[in-house]
Each structure stands twice: as C-alpha cells, then as structure tokens.
Amino acid sequence: MTIRFLGTGTSQGIPVIACDCAVCTSLNTKDKRLRSAVLIQVNGKNIVIDTGPDFRYQMLREHVTHLDAILFTHSHKDHIAGLDDVRAFNRQQGHAIDIYGALEVHEALRREFYYAFAAKKYPGVPQLNLHEISSLPFSLFGMPIIPIEVMHYMMPVLGFRIGDFTYITDAKTVEDTEVQKIRGTKILVVNALQREAHISHFTLDEAIAFAGQVGAEQTYFTHISHKLGLHDEVQAELPEGIFLAYDGLSLELA
C-alpha cells in the first residue's frame, strides 16, 4: 500500500488569501498546503479520500491516470467541492465512479452537484455511483474498510482504517469504542489544526495526546492551519514517532 498526501491544509489552505504571516510567506515548500486529501494505491487500485477544491490540481500533480473509488469523510466544502472534476476519469474510463459516504454526505452531493442527478442530464456531467455507508465495516475491492466515527464539534465525521493504515480528519472528540477500532494500526493520520483551543478540531497538544492514546508506530498530522507555525519548527518539537505530513509526502506500508 502506498499513501500519498494530496493536501495537508485546513479549509483555507496555506498560504491564506491576503495573509502575510511568516507561514504564508515562507519559501519552504512544506509550508504550502492544499486542502486535505489522500490517495491510497493498493492492489492496482486508486482510492481517494475526499475531493476538496484542489482536487483537479492534485490529480494532475500526482499524475493520476485512473480512479477507482472515492471515500468521503463528511460534507464540508473543503472536502467535497472538487467532485465535479471526476468527469475526466468518467470520460477516460468509460464508466461512473463509485462514491462511498454517509447518508448526510449523499444529501449534500445531491444538493451541490444537482445536475449530476437530474432526470435529464446535460452531456458530460459527472457520473457517480453512490454507496451509502455507516460506522459498520464494509468491503472495497476485497479489502475490509473499517469506518471510525469521530465528532467534529456536533457533526459526525468518518475516518477510515484500511489494513494497518488509519486516516482521521476534522476530529475534536473520539469515543473509546472508536479508539479500540484504531489500536494496532501501524500508521495513523490525524488532524492537528493549531495551538490555540478550537471548537471542532484537535489542537496540537490534543493531537499528540490522541496519538499517544492510539499508540501507532508512526503518526502524521494533517489538516494544518497557518496558525500552527512553520513546518520545520513544529516538527523539531514533536515527540519521537510523530511527524507533520506535507503535500506530496508518500508512505509505503507492507
């Protein structure tokens, strides 16, 4: 399994429009963050988790030539806004793309991309096969997928465990029953928004504590805002085995 970070930024990305802070003006490429998403490549299949506003560019940057499925964590715009660009894969592959998400996600997709679900479709609209999922495990291309339900303030969000890899974003609280689903994972990805308290996201300290609770061999932080600080400075203060992810980072998992 190969995990490629398509984006590691929060909803505004980095640099933030009209911001001249040290992070937004940094020349370090690791401080440039598109909206959060990952590409999982396993057994010849390409699976993307979330299609934010930067989806088109992310696919071009990583030279992705086919797409087999999309998993959605939740319906916020920074996680779904780029879905229209699957049209290119529809045309290239000659069929619809399988979409996996909770009912609330499907309802949002039908609102935001209404033209893809119209009775009379305009030629070239996205072709989507919606598959409703819950917190129960399901199978995808013969692989068991274990959804992990976390709370984004009052909004349920799904993380996903695929083998020894677990991806969680937009978490603020996680019940012990869900933590049990994660334990034993080798690579954990989880959000770490900023240092200051936030109503709906882990802070840096909360993310570090959560990483300790799970006990994965390696933990990578994502969904990072410019308020967290410069990549190299933050990385230097993290405990052993914990890393800041960055756009374009690729991980291998046997």
Q: For residue range 193-213, what is the model confidence (pLDDT) as tens digits?
A: 999 999 999 999 999 999 999
pLDDT band at 115 (very low <50, low <70, confident <90, very high): very high
Amino acid at 20: D
Number of neighbours of residue 121 by Cβ within 10 angstroms: 12
**pLDDT above 90 for 90:** yes
What pLDDT does 181 receive? 97
Distances (CA, A) of 12 to 1, 16, 24, 92, 191: 29, 6, 11, 31, 15
- Locate 127 and state its tokens: 């072709």
| Percent residues over pLDDT 70 in the chain | 100
Q: For residue range 230-244, what is the model confidence (pLDDT) as tens digits?
A: 999 999 999 999 999
Residue 159 three-state SS: strand
Which helix or strand (DSSP H or E) is residue 28 part of? none
> Average pLDDT in the 32-45 region?
97
Amino acid at 183: R
pLDDT band at 254 (very low <50, low <70, confident <90, very high): confident
> Average pLDDT in the 12-25 region?
98
CB 112 within 8 A of CB 79: no
**pLDDT above 90 for 86:** yes
